[in-house]
Amino acid sequence: MAKPSPAKVNAAEALPQERQQWILDRLRSHGRVVAAELSVEFEVSEDSIRRDLRELAAQGLCKRVYGGALPPPAIATPLKQRRHEHAGRKLALARKAVTLVRQGQVLLIDAGSTNAAIASALPEHFGLTVVTNAPEIAQILLEREGFEILLIGGRINPRIGAAVGAQALQEIQRVRADLCFPGACAIDAGSGLWGFDSEEVLLKRAMIEASGETIIAVTHDKLGATATHRVAGIADVQHLVVEHDVDRAARAAFTARSVTVHRADAPA
């Protein structure tokens, strides 16, 4: 008779607090958890798992949904704060994302700390035209050689670090681009791309509509997270760039929706 794996024995004998920590780890790596599956794996009743999920949700560590749980809703953090978070991970994402760029293309690049890293990693002398609503991204490219830059005008939202509103929206609608890089507050294989600010969401949607292909580059905390305003369905996303350690099941959920998933290298 096969001997049970140590992980399963430990899970079956774990205290509720230890089991809940395992559930959180699974939630972070998979993007969701299913109560029935956890019940089998941890050899406890589904009622026990539901109790664990209720306690985790009460602490704001997950969001209860029918049959299981999702990560808690993402929090809209100001750009100034995000600029200094996980710089190595965002650089790894950027280096993978720019491998999808071809010579002579027109790119639409949204505001955001990951997109700023993408601007820094774009190859020079590719004859690229970059259209952006973010002064920071325009400044990054001004300090490099070989880029044509079009800065979208309008009211600057200091929290977002970009132009939003009617003027910016009209200018985006007059553009035709090969690729766009919308910033992502949350993305889910089932429900698509989400944001927090209603004006910003309209601009992201216009970017997608104005572009031939859409590339989303995200740190793992954005996968399966939730936000308040839907930008687009997953059918509007052609490429998803994720961190090197994102779980295979999480990647497969996007692949099943015809999204090409690209794994970044591990941060240096």
**With the CA atoms of 130, 237, 134 and 243 taken in that order, what torsion angle do they form, in degrees rounded to the nearest 10?**
-100
Q: What is the pLDDT of residue 72?
A: 73
Count of other CB atoms within 10 angstroms of residue 57: 15
Q: pLDDT digits over 52-67, tens only?
A: 998 888 887 888 877 8
79-263 CATH, one of 3.40.250.10, 3.90.25.10, 3.20.20.70, 3.40.50.1360: 3.40.50.1360
The residue ranking higher by pLDDT, 17 or 139, is: 139
Q: For 1-5, 93-97, 161-165, 222-226, which range has the lowest pLDDT when averaged over its residues?
A: 1-5
Q: What is the pLDDT of residue 82?
A: 52
Measure CA 69 to chain center. Answer: 19
Q: Please measure the distance between the N-terminal and C-terminal CA atoms of the chain and give it in whole angstroms.
A: 44
Region 260-264: what's the mean pLDDT?
Answer: 98
Indicate the fold that domain 6-70 takes in CATH: Arc Repressor Mutant, subunit A (1.10.10)
- Does residue 255 carry a pLDDT above 70? yes
Q: What is the pLDDT of residue 151?
A: 97
Q: What is the pLDDT of residue 77?
A: 52
Q: pLDDT digits over 72-114, tens only?
A: 765 545 545 555 567 899 999 999 999 999 999 999 999 999 9
Give residue limits of the domains in the chain: 6-70, 79-263
Q: What share of the chain is helix, strand, coil (3-state, %, to 5)?
A: 40, 20, 35
| Torsion sign across C-alpha atoms 43, 46, 49, 51 | negative
pTM of the model: 0.72
